[in-house]
Structure 1
């Protein structure tokens, strides 16, 4: 049995981590040769200003009086430079946005393991290619570009991380710090000959990272006065910086200014997904090498923004965010960042047609270089007869396009050069994607083969041990044949040799060799398979097809509920009518009505909004009061009983009620403090941590009697849950727990209805760490329905009020949220369901081996739905769905981990 559990954990762990090798790997390659435009650049220096979290519409739109919030930048648009929208790619987070701007490539999803903070791989950037770069701003952003730079030419000046306080009274001080320090820097340079010489060199960059808008947006929303006033503060600061540069360099006309943002922000103060408010960021450029404003009568954009912004007469030039990196490199004449996938926006350049053509040609060669290195790397580790090259961009095709482009340059057909080079760039990018995903199908087949084998093996053991479906299994022990093990050993050796000669990573050996012993174990149960097939053939075909359709329909409903939360509502409404379709209504009217009532009540939660809502602390207080009233009712009931353990139980409940009161006070106090912009009180943090710690310990002190232990778990976990709630979600665990309580009763009624006697009454059943497996009965078809209920309730617990992708809601406890303590917010309902099912298992003498087959099927389903592209919301949602289904379905559930934590009691007697 221990071997079975160990193997199950290993299989599910491999299945879970495999997606990081299959989907979430870095597409970056190294070893390319730098390329730069072989013509004099228009600028000697470049100033990059990034207003973190600035939405395009917030900057461009006029206020209620018809005035611009950023008059200086609007004047630039109308009289000095070019403007447009920078379309960001998601995830719309600060690190990926800055990497796209400065390095020219979109942050690969492997960076999620580092939380977008550290470099999962080293990459080239504009700063690294520059002669010198000076940067000012956040300590979260600046170091990552200095860390990957070669030599000592990227200098950072960052403020203390403690200044980044979402509850601070005035976040604009972050931007003021940057502007003031830049001015101090140039003032000091006049008296420092070495520094003065450096900042008068060519090919230099000044980077100003302005975090105030992002901080104010999170704390007060983009529609707030704080956010809008911060835009004016930034505009004033930019004006001062531009004036200072002109004065310092004698207005030599060799400075280029680029003002943009890394990402936008939703109306409710979050970012990370793909809503236009997050992906549309401003881009304003002016100075050396930049086109002057161009008046137009009509534009190609069909959105309503231009008229709203009253900018319809000034030509708008949109770009993708990664395109800004090659633009900056071209302006100051440095090599294009080696990993850049941006396409040079020539429409921004105020230069000769020859310069534009040469720049685009260099851009194409630089991206083609990445394609060639990627192809060579893949070709070197693949057997020649198995290697399939990217046919759209063969060696001859590359040479033909490059020769034709160079010929067009000589013939001064510059428009043709730009068109041809862009075609080559698009082909090279497709080829990069092709070789990046080259092994995906092979690895996917290997992992799926192993998982199907494990599911088959687990199912055979369940059928063999806990089912009367097989009647004719021979009890004679046959001498095992040596042919089967020898065949699988030979297969394993061949697979290992195949991987060895291709120099595959060690993880490939795990994915490809793990199915071998698993399928060997499956085929060893050949006699069981034969008897199972014989039994199924004797089963009425219509019944078999009917059960199969219901099983499949149940899986698909659950799969849809992961994407469309209202499917949970539909399922709960169907659950509400279940007692009336059976004989339960006639046997237990009160229990049936309670089941219907709480099912319908729980069905409301998936229809509620996840994000974009205002906090309603009164609902949190109401949930706390309901919990206290329920506690008083339980305490009153306990006081009427007799027993030596009653005093201890009353003491435990008293401590838990006190913890609930403290949690309610912390929520109210924290909410008031944040509204007053006073930050989070230290005492509230201490109480919050103490509540979390006690919620894991106090239930162990309660009585082992089933319902008393379950209620103790609810009280402890609800105290923590209240701290992380801002509205209706505080009521969710309470309603869910009531439904779980009714479920325990109704399952025992169902079991008695089917003619199975129950050995114990519900009021006398106790949790025990060691369960006697001889009490387990054989499985019946109704147990499939119980397994489905479990999985459905688990999914409801996880998605009833949101999912991992919606974690960016603003909880009351901002500090705690920042360090990841919001995870209990997701797990607490999940724990309540698992504890309830443990009670169902005890009351119905149900074996735990078969309860996860639904989730195994769902996990297998979601393996093919994982994405490594699209928005952070898409990637995060599908990854969280897959990981949740995979981990829940693991045999860690069969080890009864939750039972060990909450059901174990030290005393042998109550």
Structure 2
């Protein structure tokens, strides 16, 4: 019962630590209660047309082909003669939802919003569409609804195709864009016969939004350098030209239409997006029409990149913006208020208007951002005791009044240039102030979490010493008295903290983060006698060996931390692990197993050196992986006949699983061949894939619970699924990892026998389902720390062996083509996560086998693992930063989230692994299912 209690408490504590990062770093930037800011001067345009070519890279549009001809002749003409162009810099994550929110609403969504939904808004936000009089939009059902559902009233209309149309296996994904262009043409044609619609269309402040998904879909399916992707750009260019001509004719060339052409994100050469590579963050921006500065020549332009010469555009002025700046630009062109939560700064170089208009627009932009600052400041002031509140000094209430008064005065005096610069300064200060109040409680919350972290880790270490190191002694009466006093002391601390939070009207989550350290540290001090017992035992301890283990584990933890930034460190770690049998003396006891250990470590050491993204699919590797798995399994089955005969039922089960491995390798090859020929996903292949995935969870439960028999069955089931989710060399990773895990189980038992800790037992005779004799469970030894570290190392290797953070964010849909080709982010993401977790399960099963074979309590080893993992997580908590590039910020947060997720996951996965290894489904004579 104590083990269950400790597990539940540990799970709750780690969930709290995990969730805390979202309250500290992933809180929504949105505030409400601001007033819209209007520009008192008439706008240059009555209507605006927004083209968003989803997934279009800047270089794909701007760079001429090998013959020197452009892929987009119409837009090239706009750049050279009629409009202003540049690069729109996006932020991480480079995904469709945050990209469109930045474009149309002007703010950058917190990362947690991406996971909450694509069609529903986790938070309501204002947008250019909402501020417009009417907005008509055409395109994807994944993007358009979130802006119509977030709008007030009924003035944002959407026209979408079916979700099934977004098929990566489609023969021609450009038809998605053709559909949009055709629908727009039909819309304007029907408007001539509809007086109500015609009246609305001739009104002011209207927006037309064309979301063009074909380029993104073709890029995922065929890569951005493919003919399909490049031809789609030409189709979009021709479609834009046709729509512009149509609109100009519809409005009798009144010159009151502004046009914006851009993209939500780019795409890597291998057809993915989500991370911070320049090919993903650099998107095109071309603006022309009413109120827009015409093309201008530029003799010298200074940019950090060399793209101008590559794009043959060095003679044309380039104006770069941040993606959120496009929202205030669009609002200014048609005279609607800038979206209330926008953090974009109006790019004046795109405007062709009077200095008075620019100054008034910049003033409205500054007041709009200052309004957000005021709301943030008042919210924080109301929830903080006055003695603890520290205002943002550059923008106190008096400073705000002076800033606004001076800006208004400059405009009234006609000193527009000075007013613009003054407003830009006010915007910069307000933005820093927004960040200041947005992160106001970060240090306070971080300190509380660190206190809880350190306390929990200390408590687990004390429990290990108390339960598994023979240091427990009966408490004395003095200890009981001090314990009562200790309870009163910590109760007073908890009441004081709770009262302080209550007076500040803090959110309920603050109570959890701030009060959690109290019972944790109470538990630590309650077990303080263990520390004194340890101090008394120092003279009898092998200090040199203890210090050596402490030093090695410390260096090992640092190596794992660095491996999150440099995967090659895992190769260094594997080379060091390969030398373990020689350094420990095992080599002279079992040369054959030691040599096999060294070879398997060196084989796996190659994987962290290989590229994780940017590779073309190569199904030959998948075929080789299937053949290697069959060879390993057949070798084991041949050798197992000499050590113990397999039951006939188990023989047939293994034969079926071997056939399934071959079938999955064939299905993968067949699927990619069919898609290359543009024949779509064969139904048979899809049925085999989904049935393989479903059966992989219960087929191992049909096999014998003998240690190696069960491990082999689990391996075959998992490899089948992994093959179907592979596109290249990563398919070889599970077979090589499993080879190392099998050797690890063998060599650990050899190590135990060499040390004289246990009697030699044939691994083939060990049965997972047999209850371990409690009398044979031994106490912890220093060598068990090494076993626990090996386990953590292999878990990290399982995660980063063929991937990294970028390879998860930059998801390649080709890896799920055996299961589905129609775009579905949640199913595709779930399949990807299962692919990532399969190596985890392999390592967990091997660790379970070692616990059984070494006669060690699973609780003791797991507690050591918990301490090592928590020390890593504490490292990453201190490494989290909120400055620098957005990629650096996102990566630092992701590291902490990954380690915490891994710790929580391991706690849950340990239960699943126990079931997977020790339980068996027996099919009786009457086909009844019995679970043993």
Q: What TM-score range do you get, normalising by the shorter chain?
A: over 0.9
Partner of 1:713: 714
1:856 and 2:856 matched: no
Report the Cα distance in structure 1 between the residues aligned to 2:546 and 2:688, rounded to whole angstroms: 56
Partner of 1:897: 912
Three-state SS of the structure 1 residue aligned to 2:85 is strand
Given candidates 431, 438, 441, the residue that maps to 2:433 is 431
Structure-2 change in CA distance of 1:365 and 1:681 (3 Å) = same
**CA shift at 1:29, angstroms?**
0.3
Partner of 2:850: 840
Partner of 1:155: 157
Partner of 1:822: 832
1:725 and 2:739 matched: no
Three-state SS of the structure 2 residue aligned to 1:864 is helix
- Cα contact 1:758–1:843 (8 A) shared by 2: no
Report the Cα distance in structure 1 between the residues aligned to 2:348 and 2:723, rounded to whole angstroms: 55
Three-state SS of the structure 2 residue aligned to 1:615 is coil
1:651 and 2:652 matched: yes
- Cα contact 2:578–2:598 (8 A) shared by 1: yes
**CA shift at 1:504, angstroms?**
1.6
Report the Cα distance in structure 2 between the residues aligned to 1:521 and 1:178, rounded to whole angstroms: 64
Residues 6-155 of structure 1 aligned to structure 2 (within 5 Å): 6-155=8-157
Which of 447-456 and 887-896 deviates more?
Answer: 887-896
Partner of 2:217: 215
Structure-2 change in CA distance of 1:642 and 1:846 (3 Å) = closer
Report the Cα distance in structure 1 between the residues aligned to 2:882 and 2:299, rounded to whole angstroms: 41
**Which string of whole-angstrom CA distances, capped at 9 and with x for unpartnered residues, describes residues 308-330 of structure 1?**
22211111111111111111111
**Which string of whole-angstrom CA distances, capped at 9 and with x for unpartnered residues, describes residues 415-441 of structure 1?**
211111111101111111111111111
Report the Cα distance in structure 2 between the residues aligned to 1:36 and 1:471, rounded to whole angstroms: 73
**CA shift at 1:802, angstroms?**
0.5
Report the Cα distance in structure 1 between the residues aligned to 2:278 and 2:728, rounded to whole angstroms: 27
Report the Cα distance in structure 1 between the residues aligned to 2:886 and 2:831, rounded to whole angstroms: 21
Which of 696-705 and 563-572 deviates more?
Answer: 696-705
Q: Could you tell me the TM-score, scaled by structure 2's length?
A: 0.94
Residues 415-814 of structure 1 aligned to structure 2 (within 5 Å): 415-468=417-470, 470=471, 479-480=480-481, 481-536=483-538, 546-639=548-641, 646-758=647-759, 760-768=761-769, 770-803=771-804, 805-807=806-808, 808-814=811-817
**CA shift at 1:233, angstroms?**
0.5
**CA shift at 1:735, angstroms?**
0.7
- Cα contact 1:73–1:235 (8 A) shared by 2: yes
Report the Cα distance in structure 2 between the residues aligned to 1:723 and 1:132, rounded to whole angstroms: 47
Three-state SS of the structure 2 residue aligned to 1:316 is coil
Three-state SS of the structure 2 residue aligned to 1:768 is coil
Three-state SS of the structure 2 residue aligned to 1:851 is helix
Partner of 1:882: 896
1:831 and 2:841 matched: yes
**CA shift at 1:493, angstroms?**
1.7
Structure-2 change in CA distance of 1:178 and 1:33 (3 Å) = same
- Cα contact 2:813–2:828 (8 A) shared by 1: no
Three-state SS of the structure 2 residue aligned to 1:563 is coil
**CA shift at 1:653, angstroms?**
0.4
Three-state SS of the structure 2 residue aligned to 1:820 is helix
Three-state SS of the structure 2 residue aligned to 1:404 is helix
Partner of 2:925: none
**CA shift at 1:334, angstroms?**
0.6
Three-state SS of the structure 1 residue aligned to 2:780 is coil
**Which string of whole-angstrom CA distances, capped at 9 and with x for unpartnered residues, describes residues 815-874 of structure 1?**
546252122211111111111111111111223323312112112222233467877865
Report the Cα distance in structure 2 between the residues aligned to 1:143 and 1:252, rounded to whole angstroms: 31
Structure-2 change in CA distance of 1:857 and 1:536 (3 Å) = farther
- Cα contact 1:680–1:813 (8 A) shared by 2: no
Question: Where do 5+ consecutive residues of structure 1 fail to align?
Answer: none
- Cα contact 2:487–2:522 (8 A) shared by 1: yes
Report the Cα distance in structure 2 between the residues aligned to 1:533 and 1:484, rounded to whole angstroms: 22
Which of 846-855 and 174-183 deviates more?
Answer: 846-855
Structure-2 change in CA distance of 1:509 and 1:539 (3 Å) = same
Structure-2 change in CA distance of 1:568 and 1:302 (3 Å) = closer
Report the Cα distance in structure 2 between the residues aligned to 1:302 and 1:703, rounded to whole angstroms: 63
- Cα contact 1:83–1:283 (8 A) shared by 2: yes
Partner of 1:346: 348
**CA shift at 1:14, angstroms?**
1.3
- Cα contact 2:549–2:782 (8 A) shared by 1: no
Report the Cα distance in structure 2 between the residues aligned to 1:22 and 1:499, rounded to whole angstroms: 17
Report the Cα distance in structure 1 between the residues aligned to 2:97 and 2:655, rounded to whole angstroms: 47
Three-state SS of the structure 1 residue aligned to 2:814 is coil
Report the Cα distance in structure 1 between the residues aligned to 2:215 and 2:910, rounded to whole angstroms: 49
**CA shift at 1:668, angstroms?**
1.0
Three-state SS of the structure 1 residue aligned to 2:864 is coil
Report the Cα distance in structure 2 between the residues aligned to 1:851 and 1:878, rounded to whole angstroms: 25
Report the Cα distance in structure 2 between the residues aligned to 1:194 and 1:308, rounded to whole angstroms: 49
- Cα contact 1:5–1:895 (8 A) shared by 2: no
Which of 758-767 and 272-281 deviates more?
Answer: 758-767
Which of 376-385 and 300-309 deviates more?
Answer: 300-309
Question: Where do 5+ consecutive residues of structure 2 fail to align?
Answer: 821-826, 923-929
Report the Cα distance in structure 1 between the residues aligned to 2:528 and 2:278, rounded to whole angstroms: 57
Three-state SS of the structure 2 residue aligned to 1:66 is coil
**CA shift at 1:120, angstroms?**
1.4
Three-state SS of the structure 1 residue aligned to 2:67 is coil
Residues 26-425 of structure 1 aligned to structure 2 (within 5 Å): 26-425=28-427
Q: How many residue pairs are counted as aligned between the two chains?
A: 908
**CA shift at 1:537, angstroms?**
7.4
- Cα contact 1:671–1:812 (8 A) shared by 2: no
